[in-house]
A and B are shown apart, each in its own frame.
Chain A
Amino acid sequence: MTASFHWRLAEGGENLQRAMRGLRDDPAKALPDLAAQIHFCREAERVGIDALLVDINYAKPAPMVLALALAPHTRRLRFMVAHRPGLMSPTLFVQQVNSFSALAEGRICLNMVVGHSPDEQAYYGDFLEHDPRYARMEEFLEICRGLWETAEPVDYSGRYLQVEGARLNTPFTSPKGRKPQIFLGGNSKQAQQAATAYADCWLRFGEHPQRLASAIAPVLKSGTAVGLRLAVIARPTRAEALDAAARLVDLSRVGDKSEHEHLFVNGSDSVSVQQVYKMAADEWLTPNLWTGAVRTYGPPNVALLGTPDEIAQQIIDFESIGISHFILSGWPKLAEMVYFGEEVLPRVRRLEKKLDPAFPREISHA
């Protein structure tokens, strides 16, 4: 009865000890920084992080390849590799995932996303709109499921995807099962439906626990777990945490970060991006849930803010409504993760023991 804690992999070119200031398009971020990223991975493993999120966009290294390069430098750590259907044959995708599993002891799970920017999708040659992108996601995952779960060749003829007699000689191999754990993100109805049908865990951005509880109830009931994407600003005292948050907002005023983020939101057709951006008008969702970073750093950055005790309690409040996965990030990237792992996580584990054990929050690895 314990939640899993994941963290977002630090990108190359970011000074891992400092707050993020650069633009999303910063060319330096496109370069892997293997030495720093290996260190980040090892620290993640040491402090009890389950998986590192390796996300996807045109401005970054390809996540599957980068994760494969990092995996040999760790032993238990998993990699949550992001992928957008529509960019690759589902058969080839499963072949890459399965090859990864064979080369790295099955330490891969997937973050399936549909993409949030029509402009960026067009770079990849994808011109579908929001709702059809989710319909294609379901077709994609149906084919993947066939390749993972059945011994027979897979035939599929959908509206967006067709394969005939698909089979692979490289199976998915992992101590945890015959297929990778799938995390699927998005706040829209379509995302919820796809997650319920095909994912192990539905990912959402942070919200007030009470509002969240009703939104996630049907998904939990269907047996799919729910996870949250959140930022963390944990400091020994609340004053220090508030100070760190204030400096973060100040930093964002340097350069045109804010302007850039505004363009990002306007250019997005993601329901969740729009929703969280609106929600951020209200700066404090709870005394320890701060939206002040959302308008400058983006929707994943609803932040857990406070002392280790406060943040642990806020996490437990989420766990008590059924949240069982947390994908976190922070500033400075490495220091925040280490502080979280050393100071917050042990407190969460102690509090978890007092939680009502009847509540279903184990997620199956089928």
Chain B
Amino acid sequence: MPDLRFHWSMSSAGVEFKAARARSQHSAVPDMDAHLDFCRHADNNQIDSLLTAVGFHRPDPIAMAAALGVQTSHTRFLVAVRSGIMSPLLFTQQVNTVAALTKGRISLNVVAGHTPAEQRSYGDFLTHDDRYRRTDEFMTICKALWAGEVVTFEGEFYHLEKAAINLPFIAEDRSCPEIYFGGSSDQAYALAAKHADCLLTLPEPPEEMAPRIRPLLEADTEVGLLVSILARPTRDQAVNDAYAVLEKVGNRAKKTHRDFSKHSDSVAFTGQIRKAEEHSNHWLTPTLWNGAVPFMGAPAIALVGSYTEVAETIMSYKQAGVTQFLFMGWPDLAEMNRFGSHVLPLVREMEPNG
């Protein structure tokens, strides 16, 4: 089994509790210095790659990866992408250009979009299930282009004739970027098994996840967790800090995410938020806490505990078959530094026996 790999979200570099505010109120003017500083810390903490997310409330993730990639030398970028808003050929051309400029330090997080109104603002009027079928076509075309084929494709959503590009995907060890898929719906699982190297999904207790992800693992697709993390020297400190986060972001944040849910057709995101709103016990396991989900959205489901507890929890997910983690923290930079200094060494120690 490969060593566990850890990624971090870069979405809120330089901003605290960004997720507690409505997306329309996010500033999307990137602070280059804060982002470069974040990249340096990620390198120091042995973070595998940094997520540049996608949405109307953010700068364009490919532009971010290109701009940061040429000013760093190790950091890898996990670039979020939605199908249906760019020609597959131009998309592949942009990705390959970033790769050529950064020695292949780009991988992709393919997502279907979660909010119909936002999709429409990009000119995409498809429903949830159609978006997945289109993503299937999109990835089929992109992967054929990466394989160096001249692609003629006539599908339900895409039609290309003799498509080819001259710039290949250039990296030390790959001829196509690593593909991550996001989602929790049946369609997401099926599509990940078909196209992805790794499905990024929200956590459930490890023993519940194991049977659900087994078909993916059998299809040679890894499974990763999209999860927040809050680790402290002791469990008491961790729990206190977790509750303190809720006080800081306040109840207004709750309404923000109820509003989000009302307009979203994402199975993963709305399901999480509903679950967290309906149950009064927010501890799904002693270290898996969804108390912040109503305030900061589905990815705020968190691993909470002492350094040792969090490391052990990570190992219990490893036993369930999970091999990658995409973390978020409150705030990201401080949490990433704690993880790198205190949790990761424990994990690396436990790994040979786990």
Whether A164 and B120, one on each chain, are in contact in the complex, defined by CB atoms closer than 8 angstroms, is: yes
CB-based nearest B residue for A119: B162
Whether B90 and A62, one on each chain, are in contact in the complex, defined by CB atoms closer than 8 angstroms, is: yes
Q: Give the shortest distance, in Å, between A208 (CB) and chain B (any CB).
A: 36
CB-based nearest A residue for B167: A30
Looking at A124-132, A237-245, A246-254, A263-271, the stretch in contact with chain B turns out to be: A124-132
Bound Cα distance from A25 to B117, whole angstroms: 41
Q: Give the shortest distance, in Å, between B14 (CB) and chain A (any CB).
A: 13
Bound Cα distance from A41 to B62, whole angstroms: 22
Q: Which of A88, A92, A162 has the most chain B CB atoms closer than 10 A to its own CB?
A: A92
Whether B26 and A169, one on each chain, are in contact in the complex, defined by CB atoms closer than 8 angstroms, is: yes
CB-based nearest B residue for A94: B60
Q: Which residues of A contact B29 (CB under 8 A)?
A: 102, 170-171, 173
- Within 8 Å of chain B (Cβ to Cβ): is A218? no
Chain B 49-83, CB within 8 Å of chain A: the 1/0 string?
00000001111101110110111000000000000
Bound Cα distance from A170 to B160, whole angstroms: 32
Bound Cα distance from A207 to B67, whole angstroms: 39
Q: Give the shortest distance, in Å, between B53 (CB) and chain A (any CB).
A: 13
Whether A166 and B89, one on each chain, are in contact in the complex, defined by CB atoms closer than 8 angstroms, is: no
In A164-187, which residues have CB < 8 Å from any B CB? 164-171, 173
Q: Which residues of B contact A66 (CB under 8 A)?
A: 97, 101
Which of A32, A62, A102 meets B94, CB within 8 Å? A62
In B4-37, which residues have CB < 8 Å from any A CB? 23-24, 26-30, 32
Q: Give the shortest distance, in Å, between A75 (CB) and chain B (any CB).
A: 15
Whether B166 and A87, one on each chain, are in contact in the complex, defined by CB atoms closer than 8 angstroms, is: no
Chain A 59-85, CB within 8 Å of chain B: the 1/0 string?
111101110110110000000000000
Count how many chain A residues have C-beta atoms less than 8 Å from C-beta atoms of the other chain. Answer: 54
Bound Cα distance from A71 to B32, whole angstroms: 13
In B74-120, which residues have CB < 8 Å from any A CB? 85-90, 93-94, 96-98, 100-101, 117, 120
Whether A59 and B166, one on each chain, are in contact in the complex, defined by CB atoms closer than 8 angstroms, is: yes
Whether B161 and A122, one on each chain, are in contact in the complex, defined by CB atoms closer than 8 angstroms, is: yes
In B140-173, which residues have CB < 8 Å from any A CB? 158-168, 170
Q: Which residues of B contact A171 (CB under 8 A)?
A: 29
Whether B85 and A162, one on each chain, are in contact in the complex, defined by CB atoms closer than 8 angstroms, is: no
- Within 8 Å of chain A (Cβ to Cβ): is B121? yes
Q: Give the shortest distance, in Å, between A334 (CB) and chain B (any CB).
A: 20
In A121-162, which residues have CB < 8 Å from any B CB? 122-127, 153, 161-162
- Within 8 Å of chain B (Cβ to Cβ): is A89? yes
Bound Cα distance from A127 to B161, whole angstroms: 9
Q: Give the shortest distance, in Å, between A41 (CB) and chain B (any CB).
A: 13
Q: Which residues of B contact A215 (CB under 8 A)?
A: none
- Within 8 Å of chain B (Cβ to Cβ): is A188? no
Q: Give the shortest distance, in Å, between A269 (CB) and chain B (any CB).
A: 15
Q: Which residues of B contact A92 (CB under 8 A)?
A: 60, 85-86, 122
- Give the interface SS of chain A, mostly helix, strand, loop or mixed: mixed
- Within 8 Å of chain A (Cβ to Cβ): is B123? yes
Whether B67 and A59, one on each chain, are in contact in the complex, defined by CB atoms closer than 8 angstroms, is: no
Whether A103 and B32, one on each chain, are in contact in the complex, defined by CB atoms closer than 8 angstroms, is: yes
CB-based nearest B residue for A86: B87
Bound Cα distance from A163 to B121, whole angstroms: 5
Bound Cα distance from A91 to B97, whole angstroms: 21
Q: Which residues of B contact A119 (CB under 8 A)?
A: 161-162
Q: Which residues of A contact B160 (CB under 8 A)?
A: 122-125
Q: Which residues of B contact A359 (CB under 8 A)?
A: none
Q: Which of B26, B28, B97, B164 has the most chain A CB atoms closer than 10 A to its own CB?
A: B97
Bound Cα distance from A170 to B32, whole angstroms: 14
Bound Cα distance from A61 to B58, whole angstroms: 24
Whether A30 and B165, one on each chain, are in contact in the complex, defined by CB atoms closer than 8 angstroms, is: yes
Once A165-B117, A166-B122, A169-B56 are accepted as A-B contacts, the answer to whether A99 and B164 lie under 8 Å apart by CB is: no
Q: Which of B62, B88, B168 has the most chain A CB atoms closer than 10 A to its own CB?
A: B62
Bound Cα distance from A192 to B205, whole angstroms: 63
Whether B57 and A103, one on each chain, are in contact in the complex, defined by CB atoms closer than 8 angstroms, is: no
- Within 8 Å of chain A (Cβ to Cβ): is B124? yes
Whether A87 and B101, one on each chain, are in contact in the complex, defined by CB atoms closer than 8 angstroms, is: no
Bound Cα distance from A62 to B91, whole angstroms: 9
Q: Which residues of A contact B26 (CB under 8 A)?
A: 169
CB-based nearest B residue for A104: B67
Bound Cα distance from A72 to B32, whole angstroms: 11
- Within 8 Å of chain B (Cβ to Cβ): is A300? no
CB-based nearest A residue for B124: A89
- Within 8 Å of chain B (Cβ to Cβ): is A272? no
Bound Cα distance from A122 to B94, whole angstroms: 18
In B257-300, which residues have CB < 8 Å from any A CB? none
Once A68-B66, A99-B30, A103-B67 are accepted as A-B contacts, the answer to whether A161 and B162 lie under 8 Å apart by CB is: no
Which of B28, B60, B120, B164 meets A165, CB within 8 Å? B120
A residues whose Cβ falls under 8 Å from a Cβ of B: 25, 27, 29-32, 34, 58-62, 64-66, 68-69, 71-72, 86-92, 95-96, 98-100, 102-104, 119, 122-127, 153, 161-171, 173
- Top 10 nearest A-B pairs (CB, nearest first) are A30-B166, A169-B28, A30-B167, A99-B63, A89-B85, A170-B28, A122-B161, A164-B120, A99-B59, A123-B163
6 more contacts with CB within 8 A, not counting A66-B101, A167-B56, are A25-B166, A30-B166, A30-B168, A92-B85, A127-B159, A169-B26
26 A-B residue pairs with Cβ-Cβ distance under 8 Å, sorted by A, are A25-B166, A29-B166, A58-B164, A60-B167, A61-B97, A61-B100, A62-B93, A68-B67, A72-B67, A72-B71, A88-B87, A90-B123, A98-B60, A99-B59, A102-B59, A103-B59, A103-B63, A123-B161, A123-B163, A161-B123, A164-B117, A165-B121, A166-B56, A166-B123, A167-B56, A169-B26
